[in-house]
Structure 1
Amino acid sequence: MNDPGAMRASDAEREAAVELLRVASVEGRLTLGELTERTEAAYSAVTRAELVVVTSDLPQAGQAPMPAPAQAPAEQQGRTRRWFVAVMGDSKRRGKWRIDKPLGAVAVMGDVVLDLRQAEVRSGVVDIVATAVMGDVKIIVPDGVDVDLDGIAIMGDKKVQVVEAPPGMTVPLIRVKAYAVMGDVKVIGDSRAEPVKKAWAAWREQWREMRGELLGEPRHLPPPPLLNRGPHPEQPSAQAPYPHEHYPRQPFDPDQPLRPRDDGRWQERQWQDRRERGH
């Protein structure tokens, strides 16, 4: 009898898993980076078992979700916007934070940085108005999202440097309206930003093992530890055998100057000879 988990996943099952991820993000269970990573894994899943792993720690369809926090009416949310302003200074927002309303960024002879990768996004669209006047506005997003950048640039620049998802995928949308006057508005992805530390996730390791077995890839083992080394890998330990014993010893001449080599091993060998001979 065939294993149900080994059966091939259908497009409808992949879309159902992606919708489950989207709902979990709206409920605050996933950050934008986690949502993007799991969405990519769901779309690339081949078997049903892989889809189960991607959503294993989330409430399944039909289960009663936790009560959602009270939200303001849609009309009120449309009139409000959370602002980040820098005038001849810096304004940065990183780490864990919640995005439940449109954002605004204004940089006047200053810098504004909005890092959305670890933010909890309560909707499928993040709306941002960015204004840079002789300043810079940088918006960091996880690779794999869709970015819609619009606006004007006068003696300035507005650009997107994000590895976006292939067409046809249901992924979060980052919509940016940019106004740059002698300034820059940039939307950059993980590949061009300082990486963030990802928390250990059991689903990720299990999913990679399943993918490796399915594709016949060997498991990647960690490299063996260095033996006979001191606290600094560049220097041999005093108790350990000399690591370059395969280099032959040469007659020692105290009047001969040390001859530098590209790798420095010959010079290090002569210093070892002098220590052993008491010079």
Structure 2
Amino acid sequence: MNSPQGKAFSRVSEDDREAAVRRVREAYAEEHISHEEMDERLGRVLAASSRAELAAALDTLPAEDPGTTATIAAAGGRIKRRGAWRVPRVLKVESAFGRVRLDLSRAIIEGPVVDIELSLGTGNASITVPRDAIVEVEGLTTGWKDLRYRPRQPSRPGAPRIRFSGAVGYGRLKIRHAWR
């Protein structure tokens, strides 16, 4: 099943299906397709049982925007973001010494997934995510102190997925969900 043909005929995951639905709706919102064509494509996406059928339903749609990457870096001092700031698809946070405070609770998160890559030396980091966000921390390693995070369940369908990766050296990383 590792061949290209085997992959095309593999079963469709729910994430793949949700991404395809979102892509069809975006094409309609951007006036690339008519309402009738959107309905027809959504029906095909929802009925697809293989990736090949899913790809055929998305054929001729404009290419998906891969998103942007931004880096916030400080050798020493603080990194702080809060309020209505725009979160890119991939956010790299680099700090050798100092504190990091990121509040995504009111941030503008345009895509379904945000990847946050941490490269922190010493100092504590506190990250607040939206109340209904799905948080993944499997790609994250901590050095001296442990990660403090308590998952919140359940999340609403279509909630943003925030994936953390990278390394935290000598400091505590605390990830929490916003209260509202």
What TM-score, normalized by structure 2, do the two folds share?
Answer: 0.57
The structure whose RCO (Cα within 8 Å, separation 6+) is larger is 2
Query: In 2, Cα distance between the equivalents of 1:86 and 1:184?
Result: 17
Whether contact under 8 Å (1:128, 1:175) holds in the other structure is: yes
Q: Give the match for residue 133 of structure 1.
A: 121
Change in CA separation of 1:94 and 1:73 when aligned onto 2, cut-off 3 Å: same
Change in CA separation of 1:183 and 1:169 when aligned onto 2, cut-off 3 Å: same
Displacement after TM superposition at 1:107 (Å):
2.5
Q: Which runs of 5+ in 2 are unaligned?
A: 1-20, 30-34, 36-62
Of 93, 97, 116 in structure 1, the residue corresponding to residue 81 of structure 2 is 93
Displacement after TM superposition at 1:146 (Å):
0.7
Displacement after TM superposition at 1:72 (Å):
9.4
Say how many residue pairs are matched: 126
Q: Give the match for residue 153 of structure 1.
A: 142
Displacement after TM superposition at 1:73 (Å):
5.2
Whether contact under 8 Å (1:86, 1:111) holds in the other structure is: no
Whether contact under 8 Å (1:147, 1:164) holds in the other structure is: no
Query: In 2, Cα distance between the equivalents of 1:145 and 1:73?
Result: 22
Change in CA separation of 1:172 and 1:145 when aligned onto 2, cut-off 3 Å: same
What TM-score, normalized by structure 1, do the two folds share?
Answer: 0.39
Q: What does the per-residue CA deviation read over 1:113-171, in whole Å, with 9 as the maximum and x for residues that have no partner?
A: 111111111110011001221112222112221100122112122232352425x8332
Q: What does the per-residue CA deviation read over 1:177-221, in whole Å, with 9 as the maximum and x for residues that have no partner?
A: 141111222211124xxx7xxxxxxxxxxxxxxxxxxxxxxxxxx
Query: In 2, Cα distance between the equivalents of 1:100 and 1:154?
Result: 27
Root-mean-square deviation (CA), in Å?
Answer: 3.3
Q: Which runs of 5+ in 1 are unaligned?
A: 1-18, 28-61, 63-70, 196-279
Equivalent residues in 2 for 1:43-82, closer than 5 Å: 62=35, 74=66, 77=67, 81-82=69-70
Change in CA separation of 1:145 and 1:164 when aligned onto 2, cut-off 3 Å: farther
Displacement after TM superposition at 1:174 (Å):
0.6
Whether contact under 8 Å (1:106, 1:137) holds in the other structure is: no
Are positions 1:173 and 2:169 aligned together? no
Displacement after TM superposition at 1:86 (Å):
2.9
Are positions 1:187 and 2:175 aligned together? yes
Q: Give the match for residue 113 of structure 1.
A: 101
Whether contact under 8 Å (2:69, 2:91) holds in the other structure is: yes
Query: In 2, Cα distance between the equivalents of 1:86 and 1:72?
Result: 32
Query: In 2, Cα distance between the equivalents of 1:164 and 1:135?
Result: 29
Moved over 3 A (4+): none
Q: Give the match for residue 43 of structure 2.
A: none
Q: Bigger radius of gyration, 1 or 2?
A: 1
